[in-house]
Chains A and B, each alone.
Chain A
């Protein structure tokens, strides 16, 4: 028996082309490279300038999500994409993928969607793989037991040309979530509580492994929500050991191994979980049973309290005062009953079918409050089709919400889906930074269930009041 190893250590070691030394970082092999229209064009330019090709084009996979329209007439109806620069970026990706032989799920492809939704959905993301993408929410894919992290555009070029990255080995942080989440408390509430606990820089330099009964009890959609927001705690990657839930989720997915290859893969994947006694550089313990529906009140995801809580006071902290001033809040003020103008359900954090089901369960037979603009944007075209097959679109439309084509949409507003200046948006996305959803927009991050409750009442509402 060798030294007990963590899940991270096992995946890292099996991808070392050259181990790190004092003088040089490790050369790490990348199994899956996902690209999109915003962070790839300059990397293709470098290939052209240096006369290079993609080393392994079959390991790179492209889609478009960040700047794409969500209005059906602009996606399928032949209407022009309203933002000209976004249209140019979309066309640049089409040209680049054709020129460099990269498979692209284009604007009208039935399999298109947010890159972090479709990787797992298609079975491209698998346990034990290394996955990178020019996007910080690549941490999402760690929910399947992959080592997945966001990279910059220069590194996108490195992977294009060599299928490798130069990386120093990060430290490990175990987040142990004991017990069971109470009713109406979701994976989103859990990860917001974890970020509130360890802080927005608490995971810097670390890969997080989420462990414990509450994590094991989450379905794959919930696990992806948790891993997705690892970066909001400063960690580049979050991982969850693969188990029977993971294998059930992956079985039969179009790009997952089939037949004998599936059986062989299962054999390997069962070896991945951290060994008993494996040591982490740090550990944090969270009691799931004491958690409540959570909501952010400030301008980073660590500024978070239970929906029923009051905004804390921090005298002599000018940054805290600046954040509250931006949000139009005061210390000691409750969030509950604060008026809401916009509700956004979607994004790589909460744009999967379980998220839409949760929001719809609360909206069924109810109406979005007068004056509230509610936008529901499925995370992928597949999620959209599934939701429509279940009749969820009818529930949203009859309640008075908008039902759109898939994309990143109002999470960052690159495509023009924006929150107007000064308005309050309860959003199931991942960042409440100043101006993230539009210049002067005020974002309150929450779960899909809480977002739906706020839409119905037009005020900040604990969803348990409506269940």
Chain B
């Protein structure tokens, strides 16, 4: 995983709450056995018309969305199915952070393992971001804060271990494999060895 220390981008705004992972990547695209190439199907049913042509009125199809790595979305982003295909599709499309007031538990876990930063902000900051699409933001992991165009900074909660993994490009599996002695001792205690 590529280390992330800062992100700078204009925002793309999807002003809808309770965006579930079925919207992010519909089930019919889950028959894949790899992780790659899912960006093409990101938000497929919102992004394409019945004949498969991109809908001009959908924000991710608009020219100003090109190159944006920060998505601002309504409350409770990523609810529903545990499919990790959702963060795979978002990152394959080029996104690196999702900002909302609330992000669903399983999606947040999956996002962190794929270099997609879940950013929870207060309601006022959120409202401002929803109302000002395309504004440039910078996100700093070290201080767990984002800087608005005004220069104001807003801190966000980020679990310390997840932050460490993101900033150093460390994957959790390596950490867990390093706990072998403790795992073996636990199994022995339970009589599972």
The answer to whether A and B assemble together is yes
Q: Is the CB of B79 within 8 A of A27?
A: no
- Measured CB to CB, the closest approach of chain B to A92, in angstroms, equals 5
Q: Is the CB of B27 within 8 A of A201?
A: no
- Measured CB to CB, the closest approach of chain B to A151, in angstroms, equals 6
Question: Which of A152, A162, A163, A412 interacts with B27 by CB under 8 Å?
Answer: A412
Tell me whether B150 is interfacial, beta carbon within 8 Å. Answer: no
Tell me whether B59 is interfacial, beta carbon within 8 Å. Answer: no
- Measured CB to CB, the closest approach of chain A to B182, in angstroms, equals 5
A197-251 CB contacts (< 8 Å) to partner B: 200-201, 204-205, 231-232, 234, 236
Q: Is the CB of B23 within 8 A of A435?
A: yes
Known: A27-B182, A151-B106, A435-B22. A164 touches B176 (CB 8 A): yes
Residues of B within 8 A of A89 (CB): 31, 33
- Measured CB to CB, the closest approach of chain A to B174, in angstroms, equals 9
Q: Is the CB of A45 within 8 A of B82?
A: no
A29-68 CB contacts (< 8 Å) to partner B: 29, 38-39, 41-42, 45-46, 50, 55-56, 66-67
Q: Is the CB of A436 within 8 A of B22?
A: yes
- Measured CB to CB, the closest approach of chain A to B31, in angstroms, equals 4
Q: Is the CB of A152 within 8 A of B84?
A: yes
Q: Could you give 14 example pairs across A and B, Cβ below 8 Å?
A: A17-B179, A24-B160, A24-B161, A25-B161, A55-B183, A67-B30, A152-B109, A162-B183, A200-B18, A200-B79, A201-B75, A204-B102, A319-B16, A434-B22
A159-187 CB contacts (< 8 Å) to partner B: 161-164, 166, 168, 170
Q: Is the CB of A136 within 8 A of B106?
A: yes
Known: A29-B186, A67-B31. A435 touches B172 (CB 8 A): no
- Measured CB to CB, the closest approach of chain A to B150, in angstroms, equals 27
Please measure, in the bound complex, the distance between the C-alpha atom of A55 and the C-alpha atom of B110, giving whole angstroms: 22
Q: Is the CB of A161 within 8 A of B160?
A: no
Known: A39-B82, A151-B106, A412-B27. A166 touches B175 (CB 8 A): yes
Chain B residues proximal to chain A, CB less than 8 Å? 16-18, 20, 22-23, 26-28, 30-35, 45, 50, 74-76, 79-84, 87, 102, 104-106, 109-110, 113-114, 159-161, 164, 172-173, 175-177, 179-180, 182-183, 186-187, 190, 192
Question: Which of A42, A67, A161, A204 interacts with B104 by CB under 8 Å?
Answer: A204
Residues of A within 8 A of B192 (CB): 56
Give the contact stretch, choosing among A80-88, A102-110, A252-260.
A80-88
Q: Is the CB of B105 within 8 A of A234?
A: yes
Residues of B within 8 A of A431 (CB): 20, 22, 80-81
Residues of A within 8 A of B164 (CB): 23
Q: Is the CB of B79 within 8 A of A17?
A: no
Known: A201-B75, A436-B22. A134 touches B161 (CB 8 A): no
Residues of B within 8 A of A439 (CB): 26, 45, 50
Question: Which of B30, B176, B187 interacts with A38 by CB under 8 Å?
Answer: B30
Q: Is the CB of A201 within 8 A of B186?
A: no
On chain A, which size bracket covers the interface?
35 or more
Residues of B within 8 A of A161 (CB): 173, 176-177
Tell me whether A69 is interfacial, beta carbon within 8 Å. Answer: no
Residues of A within 8 A of B79 (CB): 200-201, 234, 300
- Measured CB to CB, the closest approach of chain B to A319, in angstroms, equals 5
A425-440 CB contacts (< 8 Å) to partner B: 431, 433-436, 439
Q: Is the CB of A433 within 8 A of B106?
A: no
- Measured CB to CB, the closest approach of chain A to B177, in angstroms, equals 6
- Measured CB to CB, the closest approach of chain B to A159, in angstroms, equals 9
Q: Is the CB of B114 within 8 A of A413?
A: no
Known: A201-B75, A234-B105. A154 touches B177 (CB 8 A): no
Residues of A within 8 A of B16 (CB): 319, 322
Please measure, in the bound complex, the distance between the C-alpha atom of A236 and the C-alpha atom of B30, giving whole angstroms: 21
Residue on A nearest B161 in the bound complex, by CB = A24
Q: Is the CB of B28 within 8 A of A414?
A: yes
Please measure, in the bound complex, the distance between the C-alpha atom of A27 and the C-alpha atom of B113, giving whole angstroms: 16
